[in-house]
Amino acid sequence: MAELIVISTLNGVLFGMLLFLLSSGLTVIFSMMGVLNFAHASFYMLGAFFGYQLTRWIGFWPALVLAPLLVGAVGMAVERYGLRNTHKHGHVAELLLTFGLAFAIEEIVSMIWGKSPVDYRVPAALDFPAFTVFSTNYPAYKIFMLVVSVVIFIALLVTLKRTRVGLIVQAALTHPSMVGHLGHNVGRVFMLVFGVGSALAGLAGVIAGPSLVTQSDMAAFLGPILFVVIVFGGLGSLPGAFIASLLIGLIQTFAVALNGSLASVFGPLDPSLGASPLTDIWNVTIAQIAPILPYLLLVLVLIFRPMGLLGTRES
Amino acid sequence: MLEVRNLHAYYGKSHILQGVDLDIAAGEVVSLLGRNGVGRSTTVKAIMGEVPPQGTIRFKGQDIAGLPSHKIARLGLGYVPEHRDIFPSLTVRQNLILGIKDPRRPGKWRLQEMLDMFPNLARRADTPAGVLSGGEKQMLTTCRTLLGDPELMMIDEPTEGLAPLIVQQVGELIARIAKAGVAILLVEQKLSIAMKISNRVYIMGHGRVVFEGTPEQLKSNAAIREEWLEV
């Protein structure tokens, strides 16, 4: 049991930090532009595929730096030439643009790399067990992922709180037009934030790719969980996104690891009752319902606290 | 310095500005007066490009109609909006820092000078600006714009909702800015400050300028005051 707790906590925090790499960008972009970027998880997928391709050409370490930069450039282009032009037609147009973009990226990725998983492997330098907890070898690569996420998290925090650009971004979250009246180019700040947000999603893809599966449906798989995270944390709240990321990461990881069911707690149902829907409910394990837990949480949050954990707006 | 000719602006289908003309010379203090809803705030918003303007707006000889607001600000036109628009989650000091357009080329106003001028702001320099009182917010937002070194400052309703004593302080600050050679366009509903510090006043009604003259001329013209200002 202790082993399960230690391993699941490590894995949960890791998954949570990965989610935060994605949700931080998404929630800041939402705050600034008032638009939920449906294509955000697609940038994560692009990161994984760019990482895979660049690793084959120039090796993992250069790819780790280059792939997120490429994804960031794609993101900036999307803002500059796509969103900025649709902005004047209102939020629905912007939303549809990101929605269409998500499908387009998925199709393009499967045209280039196919629909089956690509062989994106953990680099040899990190392919060893970092330490052994009880009987489980914990892979060094996962520790590496954790370190990268934490470093990025700290860098993000310092940039936002301690630099001039960070101040401008924070101010533009609530009063973009006033920031413009003070002589700061808000359009460029938006493009930069969109670029950095996409690059962070790309980085998450590069480092998660070898550990999870790099496949053309990975965006569609992660996207909905991402929305749960930012709605749960409160749209536009960075601390909220952080707490929600960790929480969802831990909940999912623990749920998958637990095999408990009502039957294992209260004993099997009396066989004389026969087979009924109740038997199914009685025997379903926590691991089996793990995938729906985030959405259940989403529904509960929307009913009882629509603005999310730390959000301020009602929407 | 600022030249506005035949300025029109719309909110949706309503025609708010119907041909506004006004001029401000360098170093001049001009007030834009009028009742609620006559288009005073819309005039400054249109000049800053926050409301799409139609017509001619020239600042220092350059046509600025429809430029993005950061470019207008960088030409030396400062704007303090009606609702003060401080950044509530940032500290007082951080709010002021954002007024500085280029930290490598400081203007003639210093951040420390602002804090010295207003002990209330200095005391709260490192607390979030959201907790300030209305008067303190007005001082903060005016100082913030001043740090950007404007040659002309447009200040929209600075005394709105403030107690008489604070109104007086705001008046003193504006007079001080004017004395330093910064031209001012003051948008006001109350006459008190405007009459005291203005070189000229404009009165707006129904989306255009209906009176232009010195404060003395306005004082002696009861008919105009009655028709366009008094409630």
- Compare all CA atoms of chain A with the CA of B47 and give the residue at the minimum distance: A181
Test B50 with A168 for CB contact under 8 angstroms.
no
pLDDT in tens, B62-118: 999 989 999 999 999 999 998 889 999 899 999 999 999 888 887 888 888 888 888
A180 at interface of B, judged by CB pairs closer than 8 A: yes
**The two structure tokens encoding residue A144:** 């590496």
**What CATH number has the domain spanning A2-262+275-304?**
1.10.3470
| Residues in A touching B70 (Cβ below 8 Å) | 180-186
Q: Do B90 and A178 touch (CB under 8 A)?
A: no
B144 chain-A contacts, CB cut-off 8 A: 182
Q: How far is A175 from chain B (nearest CA, A)?
A: 7
> Cβ contact (<8 Å) for B68 and A177?
no
3-class secondary structure per residue, chain B: CEEEEEEEEEECCEEEEEEEEEEECCCCEEEEECCCCCCHHHHHHHHHCCCCEEEEEEECCEECCCCCHHHHHHCCEEEECCCCCCCCCCEHHHHHHHHCCCCCCCCCCCHHHHHHHCHHHHHCCCCEHHHCCHHHHHHHHHHHHHCCCCCEEEEECCCCCCCHHHHHHHHHHHHHHHHCCCEEEEECCCCHHHHHHCCEEEEEECCEEEEEECHHHHHCCHHHHHHHCCC
- Give the mean model confidence (pLDDT) for residues A96-121: 93
What's the predicted TM-score (pTM) here?
A: 0.85
Q: Which of B215, B214, B211, B216 is nearest to B228 (CA)?
A: B211
What fold, for B2-228? Answer: Rossmann fold (3.40.50)
Q: Report domain extents, chain A.
A: 2-262+275-304
Closest CB to B101 among A170, A171, A183: A183
Q: What is the pLDDT of residues A35-86, one digit of tens each?
A: 789 999 999 999 999 999 999 999 999 999 999 999 999 999 999 999 988 9
Q: 3-class secondary structure for A9-47? A: HHHHHHHHHHHHHHHHHHHHHHHHHCCCCCCHHHHHHHH
Instruction: Tell whether A87 lies on the interface with B, counting CB pairs under 8 A.
Output: no
> At A238, which amino acid appears?
L
For B26-72, the pLDDT digits (tens) are 999 999 999 888 999 999 999 999 999 999 999 999 999 989 999 99
- Tell me: pLDDT of B224 over 90: no
Contact A182 B87 (CB under 8 A): no
